[in-house]
Amino acid sequence: MNSELAIIRIKNLRLRTYIGINDDEIANRQDVIINIKIHYPAEKARLSDNMDDALNYRTITKEIIALVENNRFRLLEKMTSDVLLIASQHPWVTTASVEIEKPHALRFADSVSLELIYQA
């Protein structure tokens, strides 16, 4: 059987951070919503049922939470890039994408978002 590709989805990770360039954005934390997709070959995990053969999404998520909540960002592009670096750092990852939404960034829109994609 050919290697199977797994897609891990971390959906609607809601965090608070400093993001933006306006005075109120610099002074106050804002909500961000993070969606992540990570592709990796899952054949070893499927055959063994051993955690060492799978990508640990809990570890990845904890690292992303620490990054976002403990830093300040001026640009959505920078925050998205830093999160994507964590999501794609494991050597098994073949593709990863990160979309970060900033709710209430525009008066008449639900949110503004940016998505970046990594491909090995």
Is 1 among the domain residues? no
Is 91 among the domain residues? yes
| pLDDT the model gives residue 106 | 92
Structural domain count, the chain: 1
| Model pLDDT for residues 13-52, shown as the tens digit of each residue | 999 999 999 999 999 999 999 999 999 998 888 888 888 9
Higher pLDDT, 28 or 1: 28
Higher pLDDT, 1 or 107: 107
Q: What CATH number is attached to the domain comprising 42?
A: 3.30.1130.10
pTM of the model: 0.93
* Residue from 55, 44, 49, 48 nearest 7 by CA: 55
Is 85 among the domain residues? yes
Domain coverage including residue 55? 7-102
Q: d(Cα 88, Cα 36) in Å, to the nearest integer? A: 10
Is 60 among the domain residues? yes
User: In the chain, how many H helices and how many E strands?
Assistant: 4, 5
| pLDDT the model gives residue 7 | 96
R_g (Cα) of the chain, nearest Å:
16
What is each CA distance from 35 to 9, 10, 32, in whole angstroms?
A: 7, 6, 10
* Residue from 79, 100, 86 nearest 14 by CA: 100
What average pLDDT does range 57-83 have in this prediction?
A: 98
Residue given tokens 């999501």 in the structure block = 87
Does position 109 have pLDDT exceeding 60, yes or no? yes
Does position 1 have pLDDT exceeding 60, yes or no? no
Is 115 among the domain residues? no
